[in-house]
Structure 1
């Protein structure tokens, strides 16, 4: 699994864990639906600013976002 795939899976896992639908995540993270769709469909690379916006929406730190088995090889 590459980094983009791990990020995509982490976003989906957190949405499920926190019961946040993707359309609500766009609102909470201040991302456009197209940007979030690009991340989910792996057609867009994620940057640290976008990751931070998602972390704010999930109410977790960047450390918590990346502290997952998906990012360990």
Structure 2
């Protein structure tokens, strides 16, 4: 599959997983719905900056975006479970969890 096909399919997959609409993704990324629509309809490719914004909206890295199986290398089963749970959290829940984890470290 070429990158022109992969990027919109991956964005759609991540939107479905998170329950995001194109409108919601546009709000989170600061991109216009038209720009996102053009990417999703394969009329344009996102810039690296916009692709980073999209990845940030999903809480993933660029490397994770382009990893077909979503695997995270060299992780224990517990670490993988934590990341799987993290992937299903909303941004506010992630903020709370980060605060909790930081409080444990002190």
Sort the TM-score into its range (normalised by shorter chain): 0.7 to 0.9
- The total of aligned residue pairs comes to 69
Deviates further, 39-48 or 4-13: 39-48
Unaligned runs of 5+ in 1: none
Question: Which structure would you say has the larger Rg?
Answer: 2
Task: Return structure 1 stretches of 4+ with deviation > 6 angstroms.
Answer: none
Alignment partners' CA distance in 2, 1:15 and 1:61:
15
Q: Which residue of 1 aligns with 2:38?
A: 38
**Structure 1 segment 1-73 matched on structure 2, within 5 A:** 1-68=1-68
Alignment partners' CA distance in 2, 1:18 and 1:66:
17
Instruction: Compute the TM-score of the two structures, normalised by the length of structure 1.
Output: 0.87
Alignment root-mean-square deviation, CA: 1.1
